A and B are shown apart, each in its own frame.
Chain A
Amino acid sequence: MSHLLEINNLDVKFDTDEGRITAIDNVSLTLDQGKVLGIVGESGSGKSVTAKSIMQLNPGNTIYNDNAEIIIDDENVLKFRSKHDLKKIRGGKVSMIFQEPMASFAPAIKIGSQMVEQLMLHKPLDKKEARNISIDMLNRVGIADAEKRFNQYAFELSGGMRQRAMIAMALSTMPKLLLADEPTTALDVTIQAQVINLMKDIIKEFNMGVIFITHDLGVIAQVADDVAVMYLGSVVEQGPVNEILKNPMHPYTKGLINALPDINNLDAPLTPIPGNIPSPLDRPAGCVFRTRCPHASQDGKESKVKMGLVEVKPGHWLDRCGVDCGNK
């Protein structure tokens, strides 16, 4: 069976004044219809850049490698250049939900007009049909009084409501693939719980594939089927969410889980991962995690390791360097 989305050997570099920065290093991921792939990592780990590459939304100084492939429906969307082609992946087959819903809506245009505008770009609809679909979508994401909200501006809606409207807008074109970039991070916990439940229902109802990006392992545990843990542009561990969170093997994944305050075990000490996330300008050679790894050797031999995932158990992939040190 072919996958809904296949990312092969993706490298992303940015040309900046300070030099060429590696944002993504050899990332390969697959996603099937109806599944949720969680990407978890800290700031600078490249999770957003990965998602934006799918829609080619990275800035103009981005350099992709030649042999990278992002395949949706047997087409390498990374090679799309014409407006007509790009439209297919920007809002057509693929939609995106962003972290800050206030920043994603135009402030001076009514919510409804924005929804209708993008819907008519992608579907052969007249204004009235587009309006009906939009209001129906707003209803489905649990916005009360949808007709009234349709004619309001983003600032008139509360944070949770805006995020619901954003989800409604992203889903109105019936995408096959939804990219959700930290969709609940800016929300209060009680509202976050509402939005997570809503997203779970919608994912089931629309049977689409979802890439869910977050730094919050708790959110990942609740929504994702599979998870990829990223650190400084590389995937260091990947597999079914149950397996990865219950049986983490990479020292970074373990460190992340131990650093998390657990409300059910208040006696457990908080264990930070030592050191700081290196600047992408001096990305460590070899194993990217070695500068903070508790198992790193004195002689620095990890700097000569070539990174790459190895299947240690069926479905459980682990970076080569982490295979050895995970056993220590």
Chain B
Amino acid sequence: MSENIVSVNNLSVSFDYQENFLSKKQKIKAVNNINIKIKKGSFFGLVGESGSGKTTLGRAILGANKISQGNVIFHDDQRDYDLTSISSKEMKEYRKKAQLIFQDPYAALSPRMTVRDIIAEPLEVMRITSSREETDARVRDIAAKCRLNLEHLRRFPHAFSGGQRQRISIARALVSNPKFIVADESVAALDVSIQADILNLLKQLQHELNLTYLFISHDLSVVAHVCDIVAVMYLGHIVEMAPSRELFANPKHPYTKALLSSIPSIDPENKSKAIELEGEIPSAMNPPSGCVFRTRCPHASADGKEGNIEMGLVEVEPDHWVDRCGVNCG
């Protein structure tokens, strides 16, 4: 039995793009040659700015995006699921084991269904329960774990605030008893006073239900607090990956350093020292050759030699992986 729950090997995901019906079809590589192993029971963080490919990676692991190259393997207790060669029957099995929590709790819940029906829907669609009593029992059980009152179950989503709605979304994702959860920006739409509550709930459920998370976020301080291991993405590549504490105490890649320094400090006397990056994230349609970060890198050389470096992670310290180009310039 493997100690990992998900292995991602040389994964690339590309999308077809056509500017108009006369122009040639282009391929956009949203995720490029990714290798990660997610340990059972871990809280795996994926950070990056918009357009870095973090959502695409999360969706590919759930089988919601087509895999262009490489493979994704989900290690269940009895057997492995290889998502590149999975049959539709196996896919139905896999859906029970891997679930997704969305970003916007206002958009994710149907306004016409009661909370009970929203949470029960996965059980009915996946034919997990056989009777209404059984369904109700499971719904009540998971609702209680997500700190929803039983009287809430009869109401409609409009009666709830953002934090409560996110608890309903979590209950729905967990009702099929999954082992692996992708949480895609699941606290980004919440107010800070509520955000901490949802993060604590996710942590608590992880221990109670033996869950493994892939936690996707753009907010480094949140990721630093909840995740055990963090991968930083930029333009479809992982540029640095390390245990959370190591990464935040000892960042090596210039992009990670810039990201960390960009978080505005709550201490008014601590003004400053944001490493300001020039320009913006380049378009994925036309990524820089070689090191994808070189167009914004403060250490890029004048002769453009970074354009010839092939990207790839190197282990600089135990479990601390940095992109080859970032090792030197850091």
Taking a contact as CB atoms closer than 8 A, the residue among B194, B199, B268, B280 that contacts A158 in the complex is B280
Pick from A132-140, A174-182, A190-198, A309-317 the stretch touching chain B.
A190-198
Complex: how many Å from CA A245 to CA B220? 21
Name the B residues within 8 Å of A189 (CB-CB): 49, 218, 220, 259, 262-263
Q: Is B197 an interface residue (CB 8 A)?
A: yes
Complex: how many Å from CA A159 to CA B283? 12
Q: Is B267 an interface residue (CB 8 A)?
A: yes
Sample of 19 more A-B contacts, CB < 8 Å, known A189-B262, A219-B264: A42-B191, A159-B280, A188-B281, A197-B276, A215-B191, A218-B265, A218-B266, A221-B266, A221-B270, A255-B193, A260-B221, A261-B199, A261-B221, A261-B222, A263-B220, A270-B199, A272-B193, A277-B161, A279-B161
Name the A residues within 8 Å of B220 (CB-CB): 189, 263
A266 touches B225 (CB 8 A): yes
Name the B residues within 8 Å of A256 (CB-CB): 192-193
Q: Is B195 an interface residue (CB 8 A)?
A: yes
In A117-171, the 8 Å CB interface with B consists of: 158-161
| Nearest residue, chain A, Cβ from B191 | A42
Q: Is A65 an interface residue (CB 8 A)?
A: no
Complex: how many Å from CA A188 to CA B263? 10
Q: Is A207 an interface residue (CB 8 A)?
A: no
Q: Mark A189-228, 1 if CB is under 8 A from B, else 0.
A: 1111110110000000000000000011111011000000
Name the A residues within 8 Å of B218 (CB-CB): 188-189
Name the A residues within 8 Å of B248 (CB-CB): 263, 266
Knowing A42-B191, A261-B225, A276-B194 touch, does A218 contact B260 (C-beta < 8 A)?
A: no
B277 touches A190 (CB 8 A): yes
Knowing A276-B163, A277-B191 touch, does A218 contact B264 (C-beta < 8 A)?
A: yes
B274 touches A242 (CB 8 A): no
Name the B residues within 8 Å of A242 (CB-CB): 268-269
Name the B residues within 8 Å of A54 (CB-CB): none
A273 touches B262 (CB 8 A): no
B50 touches A188 (CB 8 A): yes
Complex: how many Å from CA A277 to CA B192? 11
A266 touches B193 (CB 8 A): no
Interface size class of B (residues with CB under 8 A): 35 or more
A190 touches B258 (CB 8 A): yes
Complex: how many Å from CA A221 to CA B265? 7
Name the B residues within 8 Å of A219 (CB-CB): 264
11 contacts between A and B (CB under 8 A): A159-B280, A189-B262, A196-B264, A197-B276, A241-B268, A246-B268, A257-B266, A261-B221, A263-B248, A266-B225, A272-B195
> A43, A161, A188, A219: which has the most chain B beta carbons within 10 Å?
A188
Name the B residues within 8 Å of A262 (CB-CB): 221, 266
7 shortest A-B CB distances, which residue pairs? A218-B264, A272-B197, A273-B193, A188-B49, A272-B196, A270-B196, A42-B191
Q: Mark B154-174, 1 if CB is under 8 A from A, else 0.
A: 000000011110000000000
B266 touches A245 (CB 8 A): yes
| Nearest residue, chain B, Cβ from A194 | B276
Taking a contact as CB atoms closer than 8 A, the residue among A197, A259, A266 that contacts B274 in the complex is A197
Name the B residues within 8 Å of A196 (CB-CB): 264
Name the A residues within 8 Å of B200 (CB-CB): 270, 272
Name the B residues within 8 Å of A245 (CB-CB): 266-268
Complex: how many Å from CA A216 to CA B195? 13
Q: Is A2 an interface residue (CB 8 A)?
A: no
B49 touches A222 (CB 8 A): no
| Nearest residue, chain A, Cβ from B203 | A270
Complex: how many Å from CA A17 to CA B222? 39
In A237-258, the 8 Å CB interface with B consists of: 241-242, 245-246, 255-257
Q: Mark B198-240, 1 if CB is under 8 A from A, else 0.
A: 0110000000000000000011111011000000000000000
Complex: how many Å from CA A152 to CA B273? 34
